[in-house]
A and B are shown apart, each in its own frame.
Chain A
Amino acid sequence: MKCREMEALLVELADGTITADDRKRAEMHVSACAACAADAVMLRGTFDALRGETAVRPPAHYFTNLLPTIRLRLERENRPWHIAAPLWLNTFLAPLTVTVMAVTVMGLFHLFEPTEEFSPLNSIVGQVSTEDIVALISADSDTFDSDGGSSGNGKILDMLPNAVNVAEKMKVEYLANEFPVQQTDVTILNDDTMLEEMDDDAVSQVLNRMNTGSTL
């Protein structure tokens, strides 16, 4: 038997797992081969040294905690990314998200906020009260007497000069800004007689056109 073929048997001879038949073959070869005899001694010595090795123990409770640790990692893998993200990342993301949302909302608000030029009435805010305008628009025909002053409380007639004043200011404002205001509307509001002859709806329409800048 060649030395190379003896290798496996020499290991088994040294670690004691060899069969009876193989032991006879191995011992016969070793007794006649100095190199293999030296290997046999070396291998036996190695196994002796290995047997003396102390098991390197893992920390206490390691195996008890291993499955829960694995389960925890699997659970984290299945979470949505923003929950599974590390704490430091969440700490950074939360304020960033709020800031981005706030900036977005403010930007949208600013984008759709009506400008002063777009709303003619805004240009004279403070010179006429909103209540006056609402009262003027919603006044019923009984209150708005045709003789121009015999109404129950005369409030609307008292308001008319103010309304005319408002219209005049609007006219100036519009012309200055080249708004497409109907001159007819300005004329109506400047003319007390025409205004007195108009019903509530007509007055409302005129004021509405003035407010929105629309045309007839």
Chain B
Amino acid sequence: MTHDDELMLVERFHAGDEQAFNILTLRYQEKIYWVVRRLITDHDEADDIVQDVFIRAYHSLKSFKGESSVYTWLYRIAVNLSLNELRRKKIRKTFSLEDSSYEQHSTDDDTPEEAMERSERSIMIKTAIERLPEKQKQVFVLRYYEEMPYEEIAKIVKTSVGGLKANYFHAVKKIGEYLKHEMP
């Protein structure tokens, strides 16, 4: 979907076409889910935030001026809501790192032992990402999982490209150090 296509949908929505919002939601729901899920890790919490992202977008779309792409705009909302949730969680000191179920990490071809090992490794990676400072986590998720160009990330997190590259480097390095320390 091009920027012009997005703007056309936004204009349709401004004119009262609810279907335009549905199209935008269907277009981006999966991408937004994964960004939030990587940052939040728990599916149920991520689900709540994803719904909040689109509901907030619905109410704010009327004032959307098209200065950035809808995609970038949605990402910014998603990242901000996710970080707010992480801060709340940190305040409550209720980080739960053991919320991944065995089934979630297994694949159909895995033996029970392989599945267990894979699950443990995934939990460790997730833990390593969770331990990152907020900014580094944000940049890592958008860059590594979403494969987003630095220029695009810069618009979302409002940091220079040079600063983002440094953040990304340190994020990957910290994850590596954690895995080296924790993995047998």
Contact = CB atoms under 8 A, between A and B. Distances in A.
Interface of A: 7-8, 10-11, 14-15, 39, 42-43, 45-47, 49-50, 52-54, 56-59, 62-63, 66-67, 69-71, 73-74, 77
Given A46-B175, A56-B37, A69 B51 contact: yes
B122 A56 contact: yes
Contacts of B179: 45-46, 49
A54 B107 contact: yes
10 contacts: A39-B173, A42-B173, A42-B177, A46-B172, A49-B176, A50-B125, A56-B104, A62-B47, A70-B25, A74-B58
Nearest to A39: B173
Main SS of chain A's interface residues? helix
A70 B51 contact: yes
Interface of B: 22, 25-26, 29-30, 33, 37, 41, 43, 47, 50-51, 54-55, 58, 100, 104-107, 118-119, 121-122, 125-126, 144, 162, 165-166, 168-170, 172-173, 175-177, 179-180, 183
A214 to B, nearest CB: 66
Contacts of B37: 56, 58
Contacts of A46: 172-173, 175-176, 179
B144 A50 contact: yes
Given A42-B180, A45-B180, A57-B104, A67 B172 contact: no
A70 B54 contact: yes
Given A10-B169, A63-B29, A53 B125 contact: yes
Nearest to B103: A57
Contacts of A49: 121, 125, 176, 179, 183
Contacts of A52: 118, 121
A47 B125 contact: no
Contacts, number: 93
B47 to A, nearest CB: 7
Contacts of A39: 173
A40 B122 CA distance: 22
Contacts of B41: 56
Given A11-B165, A43-B173, A54-B107, A73 B55 contact: yes
Contacts of B180: 42, 45
Nearest to A57: B104
Contacts of B55: 70, 73-74, 77
A15 B144 CA distance: 9
Highest count of chain A CB atoms <10 Å: which of B29, B41, B169, B175: B169
A191 B30 CA distance: 102
Contacts of B43: 56, 58-59
A142 to B, nearest CB: 79
